[in-house]
Structure 1
Amino acid sequence: MLLTAAPVASADYVRDQQWVLDVFAMNDTWAETQGEGVTVAVVDSGVDTSHPDLAGQVLEGKDFTGGGNAQKDLDGHGTSMASLIAGHGHGSGKDSGMVGLAPKSKILPLRVIQTQKDPNHDETWAAAVRYAVDQGAKVINLSFSNDGGKTLSDGRAAISYAQAHDVVVVASAGNDGSVAVDEPAALPGVVSVGAVDKDGNRWEGSNTGKGLTLMAPGAQILAADPTRSQQYSLSNGTSGATAYVSATAALVRSKYPDLSAGQVINRLIKSASFLGHKGLKAPDEEYGYGVIRPRQAVTMDIPAGPKTNPLGQLTSSVSSQSSKGTDSTAAKKKKSSSSNLVLIGGIAAVVIIGVIAFVLIRSRRNGGNGGPGSGGGSPQNPTYPPTQQPYNSAPNQGYPAPPGQYPQHPNSYSQQPPHQGQ
């Protein structure tokens, strides 16, 4: 009875549930730019190119799981993120279905997991990040976190490589509600993103703490979902918020192509707002520099400022090398050096040092414990926040909530003054 009684998700109904489009006045924003000429890399579970709201927006991409095709998405998470960024709707006039904030940007799908159960090793997503840079992506969306663990050398070097090549890197702060921003979002220079609800209040599961950069809508978010028979679902989480920030970065990069990545981030920060939250000073550990405002990000009179990243820069000894075999080459050199110590030394102490060095190198190459600042016992495999669990999944099988369940939003996003830290 639950299945047969489920409401039919009409195209108009799907569009009506996208409250974010209204509070951000996206029609006015799209008159300025729709993200033309910008590629956003989505490092995720792949992107389903058969979804009608993404037709023609998704590039070939690359699979890093051994599964073969980045344009397949068994989990749905990657497709959801892509739709929040570059969905363009479908039907006559494309006035039906899902629309992202940058509907004319392109998506580069990079599959690093196939299902939620798969470990997302640092060396895997790091390889995807490097590939994205080499393919010309201007924004990299990392809608995942490592649940409190440290990013290993592969991941740090890849993000440093992206920053050195003028790419905006955006990542999720995490969904634990804890007072600590997860890595890789917490790394220097990365735009870390938390989630707010319709009223601009922090979503209760959104992580807080030092290093939080921006907030974006992440509660009751409708997105494309190929794992549902209706092709859409509602969710909560910092994943969706991260995608919205990536989309806004794409809008800015499209409108101002001469700005550096650091100057783009500066515009995102300067145009953000604390909305109705008074007495906060940026950066605030609960709201960062405030909630993104796409229209203001592309229209406000904001001086370009220095080309450097206002959030800092992640340094790495291998950041400037090409993505082809960088980490493996460095590891082989270290391994060779350790082996030489064993052969040349002959003294017990030297042998022990060589063995320890060899074990550490093998551990880093295989995604084991350790790594810079890891403490040796931190979780090593970042996991995707569980954003694909829809509301009331038993009664409606993943459909958006029935009409009238949510009150009409008064659009507090546009009615409040700029953030007090500006």
Structure 2
Amino acid sequence: MRAQEMWKVSDGTGITVAVIDSGVKDVPGLEGRVLPGVSFMEPPVDHPDQKYPPHDDFDGHGTTMTAAIVGDGSAGGPQGLAPGAKVLPIRTSIGTPMAFAVGGEAAKGVRYAADHGAKIVNLSIGDWYSMDKIRSAVEYAQSKGVLVFVAMGNEGEGNNAANPWAMLPGVLGVGAVDENGDPLPSSSHGQDTDLSQMGGKVLVRCKKNSDWCVQDGGTSVATALASASAALVWSAHPDWTANQVARVLIQTAGAPRDGVKRNDYVGYGIARPSQVLLNHAGDPGAPDVDPLAAPAPAKTPTPGAEQTLEPRAESAAAAGLSWQWPTLGAVVAVCLGLGITVMIKRRRRRR
């Protein structure tokens, strides 16, 4: 990632990334990097007055995403990729028995982020039941100039059920690769994979969110790192629009090894902000034209036939947890979700 070199040009200063997740625990390494935020968690029926502050996290997932973006590497935690950025934590019911409500909560969170200064929204979560609410919220955020990243999901080894939120027009779907740049076997994939990032063995919150452990971070962490990559680029070019930031990340991504422009495993490739910041690569192009409005045809190669990651600086360590589905959906619900949402894919991208 050439992190130390990149940070001399840009460390994400001036950019706010909304992490809509399970909240954030105030752990060492995040001091001064996390805004007050908000919680949209639904209280239990028998305790309607119960409050859930955004600076708390039952699960550890949101804390891990936050550290992957802005952590300072202290106290055994990870060094975030955009340490100068700010994270706006928006807490949902991920990791709790109330997780059935996460779709509606996340939709509220997307709108809140757009109205409270976030340039980037990170959704390392997903569900199958709230497409209308999420779609409307994403459209609202896009109208405010916000760039949205969505994790593809970690069902690649099973039925490959990709997160339907990645199908929404105007978002960047993110897959995961390992330390060799090969697709992580668990990474969900398909026509909605636009970019990829590191999701292999990384530091994650563990032991009931009391410590850091090394585990696969999956597409959750990959999405956080893609959001951080965008923060670095946008901080260096604050006059660019979401379309322009997305365009240069796509243009400078490490393309698939098999020679195609994109494929269903890594999309257009691994996001490489160093190419923009250090090599001055990429043409931002028109500010109001979505770079994904007419994507190249997908080609699905054999897993493992992807490009190799750039050498990573030790200081560019990432963080993550395995993909967290809010609830276990029935097969019928999964099929219905995919059947409905696939019809709207890419019909309307960011304006």
Which structure 2 residues correspond to residues 355-374 of structure 1 after superposition, within 5 A? none
TM-superposed deviation, 1:89: 2.5
Matched residue, 1:76 = 60
TM-superposed deviation, 1:170: 0.2
Distance, in Å, in 1 between the alignment partners of 2:53 and 2:137 is 22
TM-superposed deviation, 1:229: 3.7
1:103 aligns with 2:79: no
Matched residue, 1:353 = none
Q: TM-score, normalised by structure 1?
A: 0.64
Which segment drifts farther, 113-122 or 180-189?
113-122
**Any unmatched runs of 5+ in structure 1?**
1-23, 314-368, 380-422
- Name the SS for the 1:70 alignment partner: coil
Select 1:88's aligned residue among 49, 58, 72.
72
Matched residue, 1:138 = 119
Change in Cα spacing, 1:97 to 1:179, as seen in structure 2 (3 Å) is: closer
Select 1:119's aligned residue among 89, 100, 104.
100
1:213 aligns with 2:194: yes
User: Which has more helix, going by share of residues?
Assistant: 1
Instruction: Calculate percent identity across the aligned residue pairs.
Output: 38
TM-superposed deviation, 1:144: 1.2
1:54 aligns with 2:21: no
Distance, in Å, in 2 between the alignment partners of 1:297 and 1:109 is 28
Matched residue, 1:270 = 251
Kindly name which structure, 1 or 2, has the bigger radius of gyration based on alpha carbons: 1
Change in Cα spacing, 1:135 to 1:225, as seen in structure 2 (3 Å) is: farther
In the alignment, is the contact (CA less than 8 A) between 2:177 and 2:200 conserved in 1? yes
In the alignment, is the contact (CA less than 8 A) between 2:155 and 2:161 conserved in 1? no
Select 1:42's aligned residue among 7, 16, 19.
19
TM-superposed deviation, 1:193: 0.3
In the alignment, is the contact (CA less than 8 A) between 1:83 and 1:100 conserved in 2? yes
TM-superposed deviation, 1:377: 4.8
1:302 aligns with 2:282: yes
TM-superposed deviation, 1:224: 4.6
Distance, in Å, in 2 between the alignment partners of 1:176 and 1:106 is 30
Matched residue, 1:356 = none
Distance, in Å, in 2 between the alignment partners of 1:301 and 1:233 is 33
TM-superposed deviation, 1:233: 4.4
TM-superposed deviation, 1:182: 2.0
- Alpha-carbon displacement from aligned partner over 1:184-242 (angstroms, at most 9, x marks no partner): 11211101000000110000011111121001110112135583443444233110000
Which structure 2 residues correspond to residues 234-383 of structure 1 after superposition, within 5 A? 234-274=215-255, 277-279=257-259, 281-299=260-278, 300-307=280-287, 308-312=289-293, 377-378=336-337
In the alignment, is the contact (CA less than 8 A) between 2:204 and 2:217 conserved in 1? no
TM-superposed deviation, 1:143: 0.1
Distance, in Å, in 1 between the alignment partners of 2:171 and 2:225 is 15
- Alpha-carbon displacement from aligned partner over 1:234-269 (angstroms, at most 9, x marks no partner): 233110000000000111110100000000000110
TM-superposed deviation, 1:297: 3.1
Query: Which one-letter code corresponds to 1:56 in the other structure?
Result: G
Matched residue, 2:305 = none
- Name the SS for the 1:239 alignment partner: helix
Query: Which one-letter code corresponds to 2:117 in the other structure?
Result: G
In the alignment, is the contact (CA less than 8 A) between 1:79 and 1:225 conserved in 2? no
1:64 aligns with 2:40: yes
TM-superposed deviation, 1:85: 0.4
Change in Cα spacing, 1:28 to 1:123, as seen in structure 2 (3 Å) is: same
Query: Which one-letter code corresponds to 2:115 in the other structure?
Result: D
1:153 aligns with 2:137: no
Distance, in Å, in 1 between the alignment partners of 2:115 and 2:14 is 16
- Name the SS for the 2:69 alignment partner: helix
RMSD of aligned alpha carbons: 2.4
Distance, in Å, in 1 between the alignment partners of 2:213 and 2:264 is 33
- Name the SS for the 2:113 alignment partner: helix
1:223 aligns with 2:204: yes
